[in-house]
């Protein structure tokens, strides 16, 4: 099974100091993007996510501010802090994910491999553990 991985997104710096540009093309992430959504105005004491996907793959980018992504494979947990818009976290299917510790002004861009399908979600952690032990 593939593991969650931080991926560098190419950054093009403007020589005149007018900012940076990053581009995500098909060689950056290993799936065709079928849906894009974003989170913003999340209070710092709130959490998002709290689910796993059976098939869907996801690529998360902090386009502003920072937040933590807590990943579980059912046995261990790992925390990834996203705080640079030119670095994203690839989350393969079969991992529980939660997003927390949002900074003021944080924005999370999510690029996903499929359209919304409720049947692909596992929203209960005990059910997730059972799914992983099959």
Structural contact between residues 88 and 61, judged by C-beta atoms closer than 8 angstroms: yes
User: Which of 31, 47, 51, 100 is an active site residue?
Assistant: 51
Over the chain (134 residues), the average pLDDT of each successive run of 10 is 92 94 92 97 94 98 98 97 98 98 97 98 97 92
**Can 51 be counted among the known catalytic residues?**
yes
What is the structure's pLDDT at 57?
98
Q: How far apart are the first and last CA of the chain?
A: 14
State which fold the 5-132 domain adopts: Jelly Rolls (2.60.120)
What is the structure's pLDDT at 1?
56
Name 38's bridge partners. Answer: 109
Give phi and psi for 61, each to the nearest 5: -135, 135
Name 98's bridge partners. Answer: 49, 70
């Amino acid at each position: 099974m593939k593991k969650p991985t931080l991926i560098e997104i190419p950054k093009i710096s403007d020589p005149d100091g007018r900012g940076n540009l990053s581009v995500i093309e098909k060689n950056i992430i290993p799936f065709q993007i079928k849906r894009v959504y974003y989170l913003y105005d999340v209070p710092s004491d709130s959490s998002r996510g709290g689910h796993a996907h059976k098939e869907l793959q996801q690529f998360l980018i902090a386009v502003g501010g920072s937040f933590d992504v807590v990943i579980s494979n059912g046995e261990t947990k790992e925390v990834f802090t996203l705080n640079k818009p030119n670095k994203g976290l690839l989350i393969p299917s079969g991992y529980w994910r939660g997003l927390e510790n949002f900074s003021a002004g944080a924005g999370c861009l999510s690029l996903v491999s499929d359209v919304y399908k409720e049947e692909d979600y596992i929203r209960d952690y005990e059910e997730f553990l059972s799914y992983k032990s099959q």
